[in-house]
Structure formats: C-alpha cells, structure tokens
Structure 1
Amino acid sequence: MQKKLLIAIFTSSTLLLSACHDDDHDSYVSGDSIPKNNIVNPVVTTPTAYTLTDMSATAGESVVMTYKMLGMNNTEVQATALVFTPKTAPPAKGWPIVVWAHGTTGVADICAPSRNQLNSYIQAMINGFLAAGYVVVAPDYEGLGEPANDELHPFLNVKSEAFSITDAVVAARNYLGNKVSNRWMTVGHSQGGHAALAAAQYQSRAQLDYKGTVAVAPASNLELILTVGEGLAAQQTDLSEKITTLASLDTFTALITAGLRNPNPSLQYSQVFKSPTDQIADNAETDCYISLGQEFGLGMLSYAQNNAGDISNYPRTQSNFMTLSPVKKFLDSDSQPLQVKISTPIIIYQGALDTTVPKIATDTLLSGEAAKNSSISYRTGPTWDHGTAYVLNIPNILVDVQTLMPIQ
C-alpha cells in the first residue's frame, strides 16, 4: 500500500513539471558575443510524421524535424523538434512562430517529447496557438531524442537550451519557407520557463524578429531551490510526503549530474551521491524523470521499513557535492538565466504554493540588476502551485502571445 501511495504521490506531483563554423566555435567559447546561426542546410532529412498525439483537429502538418545546432561542446550536433503548422492558409507575411519549451522529462533520448504523447494540457495549448494562426516549434533540446544516441542532454544549461531553441526556429523557417514570417517568441513552463528566458538572452543568434517571452515557474537559483526543498522536507512529519519531497530533490540532483557528464565525462555519481544511492542516480542516463523519482522514493521507503520509519540516516547526497568544480560552476553561472539585460518583453507567472520552483527563487531572480533593467511583467497567484500556475493560465498565455505578436 505504501509503495502504491508513494508512486501515486510522486507521479501526480510531477506530471506537469521532456560541423560548426569557426566563428561560431570561437564566440561560443569566449562568450564575448552571441554567435550568429550560419549553419548550412540546417534540416538534416525530410521531417517525418508525428502521430503519437492526434493534432489533426487544428494542425495541417505535425512532424518531427531533425536539425543541426551548435552544441555545448562547440561542435555541430543534431537535435530534434516537433513542428506543427495551422490548417488555415498563411497570412500574406507568413505564420509567426511560437516556440513551446517543455518542462523536465529527463536526459535520456527516450524522454524526448517527440518520442512520447503530449499531455492533454500541452495539447490544448498548442491547439489554441494553431487555431489562432501560429506555427508551433517544440524542441526536444540538445541531447534529447538526437539520432546518434550518444549525447546526454545538458540539463538546465542556459546556452544549450537557448541554442536548441534558436537553431530549431532557423531550421523550421528553412523547412517551411515563405509560409512563415520572421517573427517569433518563446513560451515555456518549469525547465521550459528557464529555457524561454535563455532564448530571450540569446535570441539574436537566429537573426530574426524576436517579440517576447512567457515563462511559467521558471527554474533559476538552483542551489536555493535545493536548499529550500531540504528545509521543507525537514519540516514534514508525514513519511510519504517527506519521501516524495526528498525523492524529487534527489532526482533533480541526479539529472544535473547526468547533464554535467556531457562536458565533464569524468564526473562520477559517487562524487555527488553516497553509496548505494549513487547506483540509483546512475539510472538518470536511461530512465525518465518520473520513473527515476519513483526509484529514489522506493529506495527510501525500503530503508524506512527496515528502520522503524526513520530515514534520517538514509545515504543521500555527499555533503560537499555543491563545491565540486563542475557543479559549482554550473550552479553559479551556467544554469542561471537573466544574467544580462533583456530588451524584449518578458511575462513571468509564478505560484506562491509552488514547492518545485519556490516563489523565493523567482523573487530572487527578479531582484538582480539585469532583471530590474529588463521589461518584465511578474504575475503571481496565491493559490497556484507548480502545475496550476501553468494549467490555469493557458487562456491568458494565448492572449499574451496574441498581444506581443499579433497575426498580421
């Protein structure tokens, strides 16, 4: 019974959270400027039909597009994205493009949204965009679903997410031709909110007309999120709730570790997790977010059953893992959005009851100088949690898109 309860709790709490030019290489390494996308023939092969979710009510075409992007290791890699076009005829200046940046699914290829069915909320939102006359491009992100099956997704890396988005838009325009305009914007939730803010920072790479960003419960200040989560778990007296919270935190940490193993292959899970929990963390490279969380939770539950319900000594993370060089660099800079002033409009939705991305993390993000000097509309709800901040605002998000980027 406890096992079934734990799985149900964790599942319900996470369902709403999925050859480069030399000038590109030099700019990406130095960080002195944003490299322009000059990739030749960005669409790798003719896009294939996407049939795992029936979008026929509003989509004229639903495909999986394989495209070239500048990867985080400064080489050209292949990535995948869903592309949906409206059933209506394109306007004179072409359909504008909305990018949907998805929330956390995992780092393994099987976790890519293009390889799975969209949940009903995302489907409804995309249907709304299509019915209103927008093309929707939904990147899997670098390392998710890529054909070579040899690259881990750099989880929550700002540049990687940004270039996954900008380069998908460039490729989609190459594929669709004059049916699409040069106007585009990004909408995202959770990890996708983080990616949407990343896209705003690096949008000039696409060399197009970027109109704005809608970010719902965007991940940021990851060390603070982990710390706040640990504090929440310490206060919880119900064992199932405590295990669910801790399992979510450990899943998050394992995905960060897996993503860091893309540029740092020598990084070992045993450096971040104590034994034998490091063996569960290793599954981050093959299992998706919900399954991995259940594995962490079941490990704690088994320990509790053998220790009179006490998990205070359960071997979780190493005490010093945040001071490891690649982890510290990631937490301090590589994962942090809004590090520079953004000139295009940003709308952020955040719930006060969010325990996945606590409001204090977003408040802290917006207290920075770059955010203060940017054009940001901050919309909060006292009863929204991580999921409902997105689900309840889908109609408002559609209005936001139509306001920032009206059909012409």
Structure 2
Amino acid sequence: MKRQVLTCTLLTLSVALTACNDDSDNDRFYESKPAIPVNNIDNPVVATPVAYTQTDFSGIADESVIMTYKMLGINGKETQATALVFTPEGTPPATGWPIVAWAHGTTGVADQCAPSRKALNDYIKAMIGGFLQAGYIVVAPDYEGLGEPSGKELHPFLNLKSEAYSITDAVVAARNYLGSQASNQWVAVGHSQGGQAALGAAQYAARASKMTYKGTVALAPASNFNLILTGGEQQAGQETNLDKKIGTLASLDTFTALIVAGLRNPNPNLQYSQIFKTPTDEIAKNAETDCYDVLGQKFGTAMYAYAQSNNNSVNNYPRTQTNFMNIPVVKSFLEKDSQPLLVKVSTPVIIYQGSADSTVPKAATDVLVALANQKQTSVRYITDESNATKWDHGSVYALNIPNIISDVKSLMPIQ
C-alpha cells in the first residue's frame, strides 16, 4: 500500500471495530493456531549470490549481494525467491552477527517491481546502514514471486503466510550462506506491507526452527483491508474535489487490482472481470506487469478521460463489481489470509503508527492492536500523540530510524 491509497475515517473504523467484537464474528478472531512446517530444505541457496550494485553500500557493508534461495511457496511446493543480503564490516563476534530481516512496502506483483532490481530510497538505505553499523546482518527478501529468476509466478500480494515464509526461509538461507558469520538470533522489521509481513514472520517464526526469534518492529503495518476499502469508498463518495476524488479512487482500484493479481497465483481461474466492470477490467490486468505507480497512473488517466466527457464527474464510472468482496476467495483473503495477529504471538511486538497517515489510517492500526490484545498478544504501541510533528506513512519510519535501531538493540543485543 502506498502514500495516496485508501483514506478511511475514524468513525468508519470505530463502527467496524464494534462489528468485529460482535459475538457473531468471534470465529474469525479465535481460530486455532495452524501447524507450521519446519524448514528442512536441503542446500537452500541457489548458486552463488551476485553483487548488488543498484545502491552503493561501500564503506558501510562488507558484502552486498542478491541471494537466490529456496522457499516453501503458497501452493505448498518448493519455489525460488530472491533477497538482498548485507553484512557488516569488521570481524563478527564469536557467536556471529545477529540478523535483521527487513520487509519492504508495496511495489507491485511483477518481477520488475522487486526491490533487489532497483535502488533503495535514501531512508531505507540509512536504516539498513544503521543496522550494519550497529553490528547486524540485514536480509531483505523481495517476497515470493517478486524478482525470482524464472518469472513463473506472481507475487501473492499481502498473503501473510507467503510473506512470512519468504522471510523465514530467506533468513535460514542467509545463515546457510554466511556460516559462522551469522548467529542464530533474528528479528523482523518492516513498513506498510512489510509491517504486515513482519507480523506474519512473528506468527510463523517456528518455521526457522534452528534459529531464535527475538521480536518484531512493525511500522504502519497494513491490516483490516475490508475496512480500509469500504472506508476509502465512503471517503471518495463525499469528496467534491475531482482531483482528490480520482486520486482516491485510482488508488483504491490499484490496490484491488494488485490483490486480484496476487490471488491469481493460487487461484488462476479468478478473472479480473469478476472484480472489475468493463472496460476497467482491462486496465486491472496490467497489475501483472506494471508496478504500482504506473498502474495507478493508468487507472487515473482513464477516469480523467471519462470525467471530461461527463461534466467533470466520475459518479457513474465503471469500476468494481457490486459485492466483489463477497466472492469466496476474496472474502477469505480479506478476513483471514491477509490479516496479521489473528493468533497469539508470544515474542515482543512493537508497532509504530502515525496519526497523519492516509495510507494505513491510525484507526485501522488501533483496531489491529485492540484485536491483538484480545488474543493476549502484548503490543508496545508507539504513536505520535504527544509529538508536535505528526507522522504520515513515510515519516513514521524516516523520523524514527534511530528509535527503530534502538528497539532492535533492545530486542537483540550484540553479544
């Protein structure tokens, strides 16, 4: 999810929270914890990792590589994925450097959208650099289906288990590759989609059974997508400024199209026409090849063209099908497969959330934390309530890099 997407009112989410606490919905939040298969993949690193040169980490990292590794995919079969691996300069401690898994935000579902194929933004570079200087290895998976060498599968966008296994199996593979340089301790840190993924890593950490998971730092973690989609539609319906209305609607449709593209990995018979009306379904198909920003521009351009021929209005523009969220695979995704913290997590969880965030509204994260507390998951919830400067979706991590590094040091001290 990105900066423009899915503004939702506090009222909408407050009502939704009440609905979530209704007795009729208890099954969703009190389901049994699923069995987690242990990672016993032989020779998890595929070939020799290659140098990562898109972002210059010279003077900070001893090694910066793209590692291709084996993981358990969404369809229950072994597949290949890619991850960035950065090691600190200097001599590792006797027990090896602990590992920080960095989980990135939304880029798209196509291979070309993988972070390992692009330069990192300055804030992410600074955060990774801070971890390295503090004495941590950083493993940054692209996620299943993103950047993998074969081009055979789409990224299962926001599927919690797929993201979690992408992380756990990348960490296991990195330790296999680095040997005694890496310790068996690790944490997960992530932003937006990556915050959701990091929470998933906490839930499924037992998959890396020979390693010790020490905790999670999630920054504006994506969650409660059905509430955010519904709230975004309500917000757009009340908007009178055409540019803002189209910005919100195009972002909603971009997000929805990426969900459909991701769902088509395990559900190849799902059609865009089941979710989108004609001709918008043809735009949505570009989710399988375009990254999120280009896709959003295509949705927006079509809406502007429609408005110019319809008295500067998009009120009857053909977008999503009525009740598409009730299609079984979509409903299951929204309510279960994408939702973090549906089961108790016993390791430490730290969540940062800004009140000026219009991508992942604070109210959505308030719901997430409240429901986690119902499951007896202890969450340290850090907000900007007492700050003069309020955090938006980007500044929630950009302004907190020293604090995030300090959190990791607290969770996993260098020994």
* TM-score under structure 1 length normalisation: 0.92
User: Of 359, 377, 383, which residue of structure 2 is paired with 1:380?
Assistant: 383
Shift of 1:372: 4.8
| 8 A contact 1:71–1:160 mirrored in 2 | yes
User: Of 140, 143, 146, which residue of structure 2 is paired with 1:138?
Assistant: 140
Shift of 1:380: 1.2
Where do residues 283-298 of structure 1 align in structure 2 (5 Å cutoff)?
283-298=286-301
Match of residue 336 from structure 2 = 333
Letter in 1 for 2:145: G
Mean Cα deviation higher: 311-320 or 62-71: 311-320
Query: Which whole-Å deviations, capped at 9, do the CAs of 1:341-362 have from their partners, x for residues lacking one?
Result: 1110000011112121111211
Mean Cα deviation higher: 321-330 or 364-373: 364-373
Match of residue 408 from structure 2 = 401
Where do residues 80-159 of structure 1 align in structure 2 (5 Å cutoff)?
80-159=82-161
| 8 A contact 1:121–1:391 mirrored in 2 | yes
Match of residue 9 from structure 2 = none
Match of residue 260 from structure 1 = 263
Shift of 1:236: 2.1
Match of residue 391 from structure 1 = 398
CA distance, structure 1, for counterparts of residue 293 and residue 151 of structure 2: 21
Letter in 2 for 1:41: N
Letter in 1 for 2:344: K
Shift of 1:138: 0.1
CA distance, structure 1, for counterparts of residue 374 and residue 115 of structure 2: 30
Query: Which whole-Å deviations, capped at 9, do the CAs of 1:279-327 have from their partners, x for residues lacking one?
Result: 1100000000111111111111111111121111111111121011110
Shift of 1:88: 2.1
Shift of 1:329: 0.9
User: Of 216, 219, 222, which residue of structure 1 is paired with 2:219?
Assistant: 216
Match of residue 17 from structure 1 = none
3-state SS, counterpart of residue 144 of structure 1: coil
Shift of 1:57: 2.4
CA distance, structure 2, for counterparts of residue 53 and residue 358 of structure 1: 31
Letter in 1 for 2:368: L
Match of residue 57 from structure 1 = 59
| 8 A contact 1:192–1:218 mirrored in 2 | yes
| 8 A contact 2:191–2:220 mirrored in 1 | yes
Match of residue 365 from structure 1 = 368
Letter in 2 for 1:232: Q
Letter in 1 for 2:281: D
CA distance, structure 1, for counterparts of residue 2 and residue 312 of structure 2: 22
CA distance, structure 1, for counterparts of residue 288 and residue 344 of structure 2: 35
Letter in 2 for 1:400: D
CA distance, structure 1, for counterparts of residue 2 and residue 356 of structure 2: 18
CA distance, structure 1, for counterparts of residue 101 and residue 151 of structure 2: 24
Shift of 1:68: 0.3
3-state SS, counterpart of residue 100 of structure 2: strand
| 8 A contact 2:83–2:170 mirrored in 1 | yes
Shift of 1:123: 0.6
Q: RMSD in angstroms over aligned alpha carbons?
A: 1.5
| 8 A contact 1:236–1:242 mirrored in 2 | yes
| 8 A contact 2:44–2:173 mirrored in 1 | yes
Letter in 2 for 1:90: P
CA distance, structure 2, for counterparts of residue 254 and residue 340 of structure 1: 28
3-state SS, counterpart of residue 46 of structure 2: coil
Match of residue 36 from structure 2 = 34
Match of residue 281 from structure 2 = 278
CA distance, structure 2, for counterparts of residue 344 and residue 317 of structure 1: 40
CA distance, structure 2, for counterparts of residue 243 and residue 111 of structure 1: 24
Percent sequence identity is: 68
Letter in 2 for 1:358: P
1:315 and 2:315 aligned: no
CA distance, structure 1, for counterparts of residue 395 and residue 2 of structure 2: 15
CA distance, structure 1, for counterparts of residue 50 and residue 33 of structure 2: 35
Mean Cα deviation higher: 356-365 or 270-279: 356-365
CA distance, structure 2, for counterparts of residue 364 and residue 12 of structure 1: 20
Query: Which whole-Å deviations, capped at 9, do the CAs of 1:247-273 have from their partners, x for residues lacking one?
Result: 111111000000000010000001000
Mean Cα deviation higher: 286-295 or 367-376: 367-376
1:236 and 2:239 aligned: yes
3-state SS, counterpart of residue 367 of structure 1: helix
| 8 A contact 1:342–1:370 mirrored in 2 | no
3-state SS, counterpart of residue 204 of structure 2: helix
Mean Cα deviation higher: 175-184 or 383-392: 383-392
Where do residues 183-202 of structure 1 align in structure 2 (5 Å cutoff)?
183-202=185-204
3-state SS, counterpart of residue 82 of structure 2: strand
| 8 A contact 2:219–2:351 mirrored in 1 | yes
In structure 1, the gaps of 5 or more residues are 1-9, 15-29
CA distance, structure 1, for counterparts of residue 340 and residue 327 of structure 2: 21
CA distance, structure 2, for counterparts of residue 175 and residue 260 of structure 1: 32
Equivalent residues, number: 384
Letter in 2 for 1:204: A
